[in-house]
Every structure is written in structure tokens, then in C-alpha cells.
């Protein structure tokens, strides 16, 4: 699924880096769910990229740093892998922040207002998919609990 997303986005937006961090379902700190970098980035070590992506700041509104060479408002570590421009969007569903989507480019000032509109929709679709996945897991666990309780009661009645 993520590879399809990247392939489609790359047709419209300059992307060299993508990460998705998700908050735990019970409010645990954000953890890395997905990371991808373009192979053309300078000697990128996969473990280093994962560490950098894991440390991405969690945002409650869109943050765009068009040129990481200048004073950055957030502590972005992606500049160490050749990223010059980064945008971070909250993944929000039903008013709740589920995590964030970060994208980066090796080119400064890589994202336009049109790109931002598209990325808002992408972030919304990712958030809806994450929320639906979590709801499905909760429903499945509830069904399993009810089935287990039913089997235990049936066993007691047989005794």
C-alpha cells in the first residue's frame, strides 16, 4: 500500500523522504510506522533513517520548512541525510490526532500551495485508514471476548 502511495505521489510532488509516525492507541508516544527514502540520497544508512524518522516532531498543525539551511523552527534531523525542504502534516480523524506524515525533498522550497492541498487530502485518507484499522481491531477483539465468554458459559452449563 505504501509503495503505491509513493509511486502516485512522486508523479505530482518532489519527494525524497516520507515517514509516518503513529501515536499508540492508548496514548503511548508516537512510534515509526513507515519510512522511505529515495535511493539517490547521499549514502543513506537504513538504521540512521529509521532513527531520524522516529524522532520526527509530532505536530498538531501543518509545519513547512522550505529551507533547512536557515534557522529551523523545529528540530528536524532529516537535513543530515540531504533533505533541504520538509513538510509535516498531522494525521487527524474525528478531531483526534493519530500521528503525523512527514515528507522531504533534497531541493529547497520544494512544495507549493497546490502540493499542500494535495498532501492535506493524502493525510486525511491515511488518518481515516488508520482509524478504520484500529476500529476493526477493537471490534474483532470484542467479538473474540464475547465468543470466549459464550463458550465458557456453555461449558459450565454442560457440567
The 10s digit of each residue's pLDDT in 45-70 is 777 788 878 877 778 899 988 888 65
**Residue scoring higher pLDDT (102 or 51):** 102
- Is residue 43 included in any domain, yes or no? yes
How far apart CA 22 and CA 99 sit, in angstroms, is: 4
Quick: pLDDT tens for 17-26.
Answer: 999 999 887 7
% of the chain surpassing 70 pLDDT: 90
- Is residue 47 included in any domain, yes or no? yes
pLDDT band at 73; cut points 50, 70, 90 = low
- Is residue 125 included in any domain, yes or no? yes
What is the number of domains present in the chain?
A: 1
Domain with 38, as residue range(s), is 2-134
- Is residue 109 included in any domain, yes or no? yes
- Is residue 96 included in any domain, yes or no? yes
- Is residue 158 included in any domain, yes or no? no
Q: Show the DSSP H helices in 1-159 as ranges.
A: 2-10, 46-54, 113-158
Q: Do you know the residue count of the chain?
A: 159
- The CATH code of the domain that includes 65 is 3.30.450.40
Average pLDDT over the chain reads 85
pLDDT at 148: 93
- Is residue 101 included in any domain, yes or no? yes
Cβ contacts of residue 50 below 8 Å, gap of 6+? 32, 35
- Is residue 157 included in any domain, yes or no? no
Amino acid at each position: 500500500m505504501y509503495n503505491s502511495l509513493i509511486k502516485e505521489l512522486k508523479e505530482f510532488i518532489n519527494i525524497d523522504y516520507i515517514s509516518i509516525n503513529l501515536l499508540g492507541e492508548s496514548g503511548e508516544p508516537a512510534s515509526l510506522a513507515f519510512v522511505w527514502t529515495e535511493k539517490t540520497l547521499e549514502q543513506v544508512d537504513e538504521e540512521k533513517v529509521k532513527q531520524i524518522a522516529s524522532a520526527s516532531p509530532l505536530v498538531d498543525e501543518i509545519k513547512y520548512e522550505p529551507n533547512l539551511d536557515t534557522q529551523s523552527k523545529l528540530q528536524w534531523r532529516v537535513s543530515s541525510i540531504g533533505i533541504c525542504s520538509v513538510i509535516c502534516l498531522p494525521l487527524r480523524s474525528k478531531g483526534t490526532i493519530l500521528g503525523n506524515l512527514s515528507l522531504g525533498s533534497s531541493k529547497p522550497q520544494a512544495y507549493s500551495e497546490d502540493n499542500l492541498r494535495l498532501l492535506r487530502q493524502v493525510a486525511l485518507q491515511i488518518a481515516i485508514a488508520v482509524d478504520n484499522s484500529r476500529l476493526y481491531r477493537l471490534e474483532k477483539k470484542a467479538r473474540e471476548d464475547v465468543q470466549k465468554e459464550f463458550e465458557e458459559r456453555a461449558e459450565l452449563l454442560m457440567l
